[in-house]
Chain A
Amino acid sequence: MWNMFVSYLPDWTVFLQALIVVSIPYALSRMMSMTKNAAENNIEQDDQEANPQRDFSGRLDIDLDRMRTEFGNQADLNIRTFCLGNTNQQAAILFVNGISDRDLIDKHIMKSLMVDLTLVGHEQGRDVSSPPFTKQYLKNNVLSVGVVKEVDRFTDLSSELLRGHTALLLDNSNASVIILGTRKEITRSAGEPSSEILVRGPRLGFNESICDNTTLLRQHGEKTNLTITQLRVGQRVTKELAIVYIKDIADDNLVQEVRERVERMNLDDIQDTGYIEQLIEDNYLSPFPQVQSTERLDRVISALMEGRVAILLDGTPFVLTVPTTFNMLLQSPEDYYERWIPGTLVRMLRYFAAFVSTFGPSLYISFISFHQGLIPTKLALSIADTRAGVPFPSLIEVLIMEIALEILREAGLRLPKPIGQTIGIVGGLVIGEAAVQAGIVSPLMVIVVAVTAISSFAIPQYNAGIALRILRFIAMIFAAIFGLYGVVLFFLLLCSHLSKLISFGVPYISPAVPYRLQDWKDFLIRAPFKLMKHRPKMMNTKDPLRRK
């Protein structure tokens, strides 16, 4: 009896395997949870940071002293003390060299305060020589500058100064400082963005100035309901951020959610909208971009008209639009500019290209290594011939070429434009040809890799292309282990992930899952405008009709 039990006990190697099988995922999950706890602790510490406040004394010499000490040895802080008009009331203006408009300061502020102040007084026949001038008077009668405001906190003053505004300090006045809008921005013209080029459509793209960008949005026809909410973000380096939406289209809950997430970011410096994208997205483990970023004005406008919300940040031309759905990544504004038949054709082509760029090499591997019977006989024979000299299994072969291609692509990006193209051609052709000649890869492999690469370039959104590129490698490994079965498994895995993914409350592959036939008019095909009367239902818009 006992012997029978013992005979059924497995070997110790099986127990060892079982131990490994259990311990690896457990260790991984422990590591995951530890990093997560650490991140939570950091957030708590950040909240405790003190925020010192200082008020102004109202006496010029004391305030200036304090300014000097506070700003320390900032070389580009300019302090200019002078007397107002022909009186002996002391005043000082402070500005930072370079980012403030010197021309404006010289001609309109200094001149108004030193020269015109006397004239103004005389013309109006008032007793102007009696100091002190009040701030109110100066603001109302003297300063010919568009943006004027008062601050009474030192931190506010310094932030205004650092943004290029000019501070006016008066002797013997109340404890506040006049801020004069003299900001000068170094911007470039709103040209066509080089990363998203269309054949037909407006040649307008955003630039680095949030002011210009909101202007561009406003300029696009008269829209009274375009709401631009400005926020300041960044703990240490504060920046302007704008949340833009169309008030009577966008869902209030969505706007509220975006606002909350943006306010919750708590990062000391936000350099680009890429930071925001990663801080507000729903699932940071997903390979898919859950926030669309674009430089194109028309893309943002059309997203707004669908009830989405745009996030603009000062200092970057990339505008985020949320919520993002999968179909947006494969759409181009051009689909709508051309007639619907070519638009539909091109869009379907893009879906096909997305499929090829994800599954091309993995299908090659599974056909070559597992399912040779599925290849037409003549093709199978010629593949067998060309592969006869290749020393590697197909996975290694594909990996060599794919990695070479990815390196080429990366190198081409870094190089100056004219050289970049040359490198692309030379690298692609020469390496491909040479690799075939050397017998490292088979010619068909080169075709597969080339077709895959071309397909991935057909995807209009760069970050979507990257996502598919990553997935391509995973698919290749699946294919190398399980063949076509593995590819199908991977596809199912991908589908289940995608159908679970949510971007700002909207399911990621939305018109497909949950199934809304109404929205399919603008999904795989682009229906004629006559039929597309409704805005996407998934956006839960206030005004569902596009055209009556």
Chain B
Amino acid sequence: MNPQWLKSRTLWICGMLTILILLTGCWSRREIEDLGITIGAAVDIGKETPVEQEFEEQGGDYSKQNALTLTYQMVQPGQSSTSDKGGGEKNYRNISVTGDSLYEDTREIALMQARPIFGQHYKVIVISDKVARKFNMRLLFDFFIREQEFRPSCLVLICKGEARSALDQKDKSEFPSMRLLSITNNRYRSTRILKPMSLSKLLPEINSSSSFLLQNVITAEGEVKFAGAAVIYGKTGKLIGFLNEEDLESINWMTAKVKGGVLKSYDSHTGQPILYEITSMKSKIRPHIEGNRISFDVEIESDGRLGEQWENGNGFDNRFIRRVEEETVKQVRKRIDKMLHRIQKEYRADVIGLDQYVRIYYPRTWEKIKKDWDDKFANASIRYRVKVKIKEFGTTSIKVH
């Protein structure tokens, strides 16, 4: 213990600590209860709410053109805890602000609410299809991506109609935003749900100017439903149309981004429905480029079980099972054909993600053709084979006597 050494060290430490305390402190401290935890946002075409109109009449106005209406879903602290009431109503509030800039709108809320918007818990961003048709996605999402307080895992949805209606549901036992997010967890039950597109996954899609799909949600009388997908065209970054539920299902079949679900087909002899339930699915996509001709070979293989039958087929009979398999394959092929026609001929946009395969298999060629890939895709020939195998029929089967 050299005193000289000790002294100088003490001097140092004390100095450092003093500087530390004096120069900064508590600069970003905000208690959790003082935050307006926001779990959802919706963007619509500008239309002022009655409250806003009244505000403006009273003089609460600033220079703006009312291009967009931004709606935030804020959790109101206090009663939303379920401890006392046991699954009581969730207390939330949707606040709409109209303006030109999403950022400015967000800051406008600080003039109205005790707890300003805190975005680190965003669950969903719902974009109205009208907005998506009008604005480039890159510009539309600029605020959400640029803002430091955003959650990259937040889900992006398109709503056909008014986006904020998706955040305003009749069922109050759950936060509407949470409900929308939770529906994406049901992919093991339905093939008609797109793999969730989060904000962080959206960014590379936008930046690479490739076409992609966004899950579409529709509303009716305070209820919501996931219905098909919206097609965002890469070059313009705008919405150009929708795929219906069966198209979305076919896309999921092609890319095998399926965790479970059913497929209904009709027996060609009796015309009765048969249900095939998917237990596993694989697909192999191989691109071929010969000169100017681009083609794809897709092999889809699926295992599953006989889920439901409306006719007297004998589940113990292999011939019947083979017939069901054939019917299912026929059904799948029919739907895929329809889907391919729609995206190749109607929208001319590669929303399946085949560009990635070209990029991986033919990196040099890809550099040349990536600029107008969507047109190339529209002319590409896609061959596919579907193999379906029914491995079981559940706990029972109908026997013909």
A residues sitting closer than 8 Å to B (CB atoms) are 17, 20-22, 24-26, 28-29, 32-33, 36, 368-370, 372-373, 375, 377-378, 380-388, 390, 393-394, 480-481, 483
Contacts and interface: CB of A to CB of B under 8 A. Distances in A.
Given A28-B14, A372-B118, A483-B28, A385 B37 contact: no
B51 interface: no
Contacts of B21: 481
Contacts of B26: 480-481
Interface in B72-101: 75, 77-81
Interface string B179-195: 00000000000000000
Contacts of A24: 14, 18
A25 B11 CA distance: 5
B37 A381 contact: yes
B22 to A, nearest CB: 6
Interface in B1-31: 3, 6-7, 10-15, 18-19, 21-22, 25-26, 28-31
B32 interface: yes
A388 B77 contact: yes
Looking at A26, A29, A368, A382, the one whose CB has the most chain B CB atoms below 10 A away is A29
Nearest to A367: B32
Given A20-B18, A375-B32, 5 more contacts: A32-B6, A32-B7, A369-B32, A377-B39, A378-B178
21 contacts: A24-B14, A25-B10, A25-B12, A25-B15, A28-B10, A28-B14, A32-B7, A32-B10, A36-B3, A372-B30, A372-B121, A373-B151, A378-B178, A384-B33, A384-B35, A386-B81, A387-B33, A388-B77, A393-B29, A393-B31, A481-B21
Contacts of A384: 32-33, 35, 37, 75, 77
Contacts of A36: 3, 6
Nearest to B120: A373
Nearest to B8: A29
Contacts of B37: 372, 377, 380-381, 384
B348 interface: no
A33 B3 contact: yes
Contacts of A386: 81
A361 to B, nearest CB: 15
Contacts of A32: 6-7, 10
Contact of B14 (A25, A381, A394, A481): A25
Looking at A26, A375, A381, A480, the one whose CB has the most chain B CB atoms below 10 A away is A381
A390 B33 contact: yes
A21 B35 CA distance: 35
B54 interface: no
A503 to B, nearest CB: 15
- SS class of chain A's interface: helix, strand, loop or mixed? helix
A369 B28 CA distance: 8
A369 B81 contact: no
Contacts of B25: 481
Nearest to A378: B178
B123 A377 contact: yes
Given A21-B22, A384-B77, A33 B7 contact: yes
A368 B3 contact: no
A381 B83 CA distance: 13
A506 B120 CA distance: 47
Contacts of A375: 32
B272 to A, nearest CB: 45
A388 B78 contact: yes
Nearest to A30: B7
B30 A369 contact: yes
A381 B78 CA distance: 10
A21 B22 CA distance: 8
When A and B form their complex, which 9 residue pairs have the shortest distance between CB atoms, in order from nearest? A373-B120, A25-B14, A387-B33, A385-B81, A25-B15, A388-B77, A29-B11, A377-B121, A384-B77
B33 A388 contact: yes
Contacts of B77: 381, 384-385, 388
Given A20-B22, A384-B37, A29 B80 contact: no
A283 to B, nearest CB: 8
Contacts of B11: 25-26, 28-29
B75 A483 contact: no
Nearest to A371: B120
A29 B7 contact: yes
B104 interface: no
Looking at B22, B30, B75, B77, the one whose CB has the most chain A CB atoms below 10 A away is B77
Looking at A22, A378, A481, the one whose CB has the most chain B CB atoms below 10 A away is A481
B149 interface: yes
A375 B33 CA distance: 13
A384 B33 CA distance: 4
A389 to B, nearest CB: 8
A46 to B, nearest CB: 19
B149 to A, nearest CB: 7
A368 B18 contact: no
Contacts of B123: 377
A378 B15 CA distance: 43
A6 to B, nearest CB: 25
Contacts of B22: 17, 20-21
A309 to B, nearest CB: 22
Nearest to A377: B121
Contacts of B118: 372
Contacts of A368: 31-32
A372 B29 contact: no
Contacts of A388: 33, 77-78
A407 B47 CA distance: 60
